[in-house]
Every structure is written in C-alpha cells, then in structure tokens.
Structure 1
Amino acid sequence: MTRKQWQGWGAGEQAQQHYLVEPRALAGGGDLRHVSEFLRASGWRDRSKAGGPLAMESPDRAVRITYDPFVLPGGWTIHGAASGHQEQWWAVLGRQTPVEIVAGLTDALTRPRSAHAPNVWAPLREQGWDRPPNAEHVTATSPDGSAWMQFHQGPDGEAMWWSGAKDKQGNGWTAQFAPSTPMHLVQAFSTALASPEPVMRPLGRVPHSAQIRTTSVSVLPSQLSAWQQARITAARAATWARNSWAASRPRTTARHHANAGGARTHR
C-alpha cells in the first residue's frame, strides 16, 4: 500500500483518509449520490419516499431508476418505457455494482444519442480484455480475470447481455440487460466497466479482497465537495445547453402544415 498527500490544504480543515481502489469493478457499491445528484442536476425528478428506496424519473417520464437495498437480492433497476420504434427495456445491476459503473449507464441517459453505431466490445478491446474465440457464448474477460461481459443468444433468438465481477472469495455483483436495451447504453456501461481509472472509497468502505490494490490518500472535505460539485455543475451546464438549443430551434406551426397541401376548402 502506498500513501499520497494532496497539496494545497486550507487552514482549519482536517484531512480525511480515503483509498483509491483498483480494479474499480471490485471497489464495492459506493455513494449513491454519485448517480442521483447528477440525474437531479440533469433535470430528473426525485420520486423517493422518506425512508424508502431511491427513485428517479426522467423529465419525459420515459425512464425510471430505482435502488432498493431492502429486498433480496436488491440493487439497481432501470426501466425504459416503449416509445416509437423502441420497445420497453430494462437493466438490473446488483447492489455491489460500483456507482461509477452504474453512472456510466445512467449518465448516458441524460445525453443525446451519438450518430455512430454503438460497439459494446470496443471499450473492452481497447483495455486489453480477452475474448476466447471458441467460447460457448461471446465473452470478454478483464486482464485480471475478475470482471466479464457476455453476449448470450437464447434458443428463441433473443440476445441478452450479462456482466459482472467477482473476487476469489466469491464477493461481487452481476448485471443483466433486456434484449431491447438500447445498445448505446450497454456500450456506455462497458466503457465505465473497462475504465482503468481507480475509484475512491472512504476509510471503512474498502472491500476485504486480496484482488484489489489500494493507494491511501489524505483528502480535505473541501476537495471532496469541489470534485462532487464539478460533476453536478457539468450536468447543469449540459442540460442548460440542450434546453437552450431546443428553445432556439425554428418551429413549424401546425397551420403551416395544414396549408402545405393546398388551399383550405370552406364549407
């Protein structure tokens, strides 16, 4: 274990011990606010009840995200309503799924979809994940073998994505995506899953696992607050930009459409 000390400490603040944990897939659940505060800053509604599970709803009410630790197995449930050519879809992620990986998917729900065709395997390949050519199901495994992403096609032809992480003691989590889950969301998840960046956990919240590596860091409360606020500010700025662009677009009135086909017949 190594130890680092952040520079620029302010007067009167007491540093707190945190740990940078890698691989991130084995870092444990983390602070739910990493997900919920970003969504709230992006215009999502908090539908949580006092003392109950977390519940967030998209501005158009098409997507609902819940985190429920009070049921078994518990964890994250994301449900999207049917719209146009998009069937209803869902994704479920275990309670120990790191919030930084959950946010890979949920953050993507707040952004416009890219014009590029999604590729779930690309982020994994870029980080050196292994894909055995003769596996029963198409599977990519992290370099240390602790995390995986699998594509499974059932007898009925429905495609299912399955992912997760597990250490040698059996601790970990799994995630499953409906066949109808938009592929750009599954790619956003795989990108966050494969990221080599460590995640931060406070003292006492680091899982007991021989497969994780930790770096001890001393962090000021003001630094933590500034990092969290930067993420929220980015979400608010992106939301403001999207809303401003939508409001400034030239609109075609219904009357214009009605008259486009020719003169109106009067009775």
Structure 2
Amino acid sequence: MSKQQWRGWGAGEQAEQHYLVEPRALAGGGDIRHVSEFLRASGWRDRSTSGGPLAMQSLDRQVRIVYDPYVLPGGWTIHGAANGLTQEWSAHLGWQTPVEIVAGLTDALTRPRSAHAPNVWAPVQEQNWHTRFEGRHYTATSPDETAWMHYRQSPEGEAMWWTGAKDRHGHGWTARFTPSTPMHLVQAFAAELASPEPVMRPRGRVPHSDRIRTRSVSVLPSQLSAWQQARITAARAATWARSSARSARPRTTARPHTPTSSSARTRR
C-alpha cells in the first residue's frame, strides 16, 4: 500500500450517533453477527439457507444454534446432542435477548470447560443481586428489578432455569434452559446478564422504555469495524492455539509392531 493510499484510508468518514444503553438486559436484540461471526471464526459451520434463519453447527456436530425471528415465539434455539458426558439439552432465548448476553452462552461453547465446578449464582451475587430461597426454589433479581433468574425444582427433583428481563410495561424477553443444560453454560449466560457494563446500539435501535438509561456517543464506522474485528481475531487466535496444542500432544498409544523381514523368516 502506498503512502498516499494510507493517508487517504478512512478519509471523509463521518461519525455516526450511537447510544450506550443500560441496563444491558433491556437494550434490545442487537446485531446477531456479534454471535454468528464469533462462531464462524471459531471454526463453526454456517448451515443457513438462502432466505432462511441463521443456523450454525459446531465442528463436532454436537451443538446446533438457530436464530429465527419469523416464527412464534421466535428467537434463539440452542440444542446439544447427547454424548458420553452429557444428556441431550436445549436453551430457548427470546428474540429480544441482547446478543451480548446470548454470546455469554454461545462463546462458552467454543472454549474448553473449566476444571472448577460451575456456580450459576456467583456472577449475580458479585453484582449484588437480591437472592432468596423459596423452599426448593431459588430466585435472584437485579438491584433495579428489571432482570431475574429463577431456579425451580419439581417434586420429582427435575430442575428448570427460567430467566429474562422486563420493564414496567412488560416489554422484554424470557429464556429457559432444560434441566440437562451444562451448568457452566448457564453460569456464562448469567455472567453476561448480570454485567453492569452498558451495550452499544445505533440510533433508531434503542427500545422505548422508562427503565433504560442512555448516553449518546459519536462513533466512526472504522472504529466499529475495528472493535468487531478484534473480537473475531481473538476467536481465531484461540481456535488456532487449541488446534496447535492438540497436534503437539505426544502420542499416548504404541504404534503397531511391524516385523522385519529377518524376524519374519525366523518364525517360519
């Protein structure tokens, strides 16, 4: 690239108005590419059809993620197949679930599971959510009472997770996880749900709600692109590192012995 081209790169850009929105749970769905591009950079396959819903599949074909806003109730469906370690499981998230919160779960699907036992309640307790026991049930509510997580257990011992966010007029979303959903995924979701960090939305994409607080910011298109690319680059780097680590592992099984011609003649 010539110096003249470099000096002109990005010239004439005009800042665009965006808003930092909090609480993030009421910020609206956002751009689904925040989820899909990270998965694609992590080696997931895009199984979407032309004109159809977004569909992503893990490299081992064990997990499938679909986003379809055109059916009722619409939104995200994440399905994990049964294997030797886990039972079949699924999560269903409403279409207004902020993509940053969805990514808490979907990003975790691309990473190795921690050796530490998961604690779903730790992220919400760290953010001073109100928690209470109700018999076999457990509930956590955000300090502003806009978001919640419920744990319900049936008399038979079957557990269900139900979570979501709503304003005073009932606008918002809900999500639920089947009892067999791996707990480290629910914990990752809870961490993003409880995060106090605002999320960014472009002008015209901020929901109307008296529970939302916004701050206007001017952002260059190249800045947005750079932030998005940084997330994709991080996914590619992590995927490459895991692949390199696997290929560098020493062989743990002995090679099959192939007798030489002399030893073969000896046994004749």
TM-score normalised by length of structure 2: 0.90
SS at match of 2:247: helix
CA distance in 1, matches of 2:127, 2:98: 18
What is aligned with 2:67? 67
Q: 1:134 to 1:86 in 2, by over 3 A?
A: closer
What is aligned with 2:6? none
RMSD: 1.7
Superimposed CA distance per residue, residues 72-108 of structure 1 (whole angstroms, 9 cap, x where no aligned partner): 0000000000110311110000000000000000000
Q: 1:124 to 1:166 in 2, by over 3 A?
A: same
CA deviation after TM superposition for structure 1 residue 227, in Å: 0.2
CA distance in 1, matches of 2:23, 2:15: 25
AA in 2 matched with 1:211: R
What is aligned with 1:54? 54
CA distance in 1, matches of 2:43, 2:93: 23
CA distance in 1, matches of 2:256, 2:152: 49
What is aligned with 1:154? 154
CA deviation after TM superposition for structure 1 residue 54, in Å: 0.3
What is aligned with 2:164? 164
AA in 2 matched with 1:80: G
Q: Please show how residues 120-199 of structure 1 align to structure 2 within 5 Å.
A: 120-134=120-134, 137-199=137-199
Q: 1:216 to 1:135 in 2, by over 3 A?
A: farther
SS at match of 2:93: strand
What is aligned with 2:237? 237
CA distance in 2, matches of 1:186, 1:248: 32
What is aligned with 2:262? none
AA in 2 matched with 1:77: T
Q: Please show how residues 91-130 of structure 1 align to structure 2 within 5 Å.
A: 91-130=91-130
Q: Is the 8 A contact 2:23 2:212 kept in 1?
A: yes
Q: Is the 8 A contact 2:138 2:152 kept in 1?
A: yes
Superimposed CA distance per residue, residues 174-226 of structure 1 (whole angstroms, 9 cap, x where no aligned partner): 11001000000000000000000000000000000000000000000000000
Residue 221 of structure 2 corresponds to residue 215 of structure 1: no
What is aligned with 2:261? none
In structure 1, stretches of 5+ residues that fail to align are: 1-9, 258-265
Superimposed CA distance per residue, residues 33-59 of structure 1 (whole angstroms, 9 cap, x where no aligned partner): 000000000000000001100000000
SS at match of 2:124: helix
CA distance in 2, matches of 1:256, 1:187: 44
Q: Please show how residues 31-46 of structure 1 align to structure 2 within 5 Å.
A: 31-46=31-46
CA deviation after TM superposition for structure 1 residue 21, in Å: 0.2
CA distance in 2, matches of 1:246, 1:133: 44
In structure 2, stretches of 5+ residues that fail to align are: 1-9, 258-266
CA distance in 2, matches of 1:174, 1:110: 24
Q: Which runs of 4+ in 1 moved over 6 A?
A: none
SS at match of 2:131: coil
AA in 1 matched with 2:109: L
CA distance in 2, matches of 1:83, 1:136: 29
Q: Is the 8 A contact 2:136 2:153 kept in 1?
A: no
Q: 1:31 to 1:135 in 2, by over 3 A?
A: farther
CA distance in 2, matches of 1:119, 1:160: 15
Residue 19 of structure 2 corresponds to residue 19 of structure 1: yes
Q: 1:83 to 1:136 in 2, by over 3 A?
A: closer
What is aligned with 1:252? 252
In our comparison, the structure showing a higher alpha carbon Rg is 2
CA deviation after TM superposition for structure 1 residue 136, in Å: 6.9
What is aligned with 1:86? 86
AA in 1 matched with 2:50: A
Superimposed CA distance per residue, residues 139-191 of structure 1 (whole angstroms, 9 cap, x where no aligned partner): 00000000000110012211111100000011010110010000000000000
CA distance in 2, matches of 1:254, 1:212: 62
CA deviation after TM superposition for structure 1 residue 109, in Å: 0.2
CA distance in 2, matches of 1:84, 1:135: 33
Aligned residues: 250
SS at match of 1:145: coil
SS at match of 1:151: strand
TM-score normalised by length of structure 1: 0.91
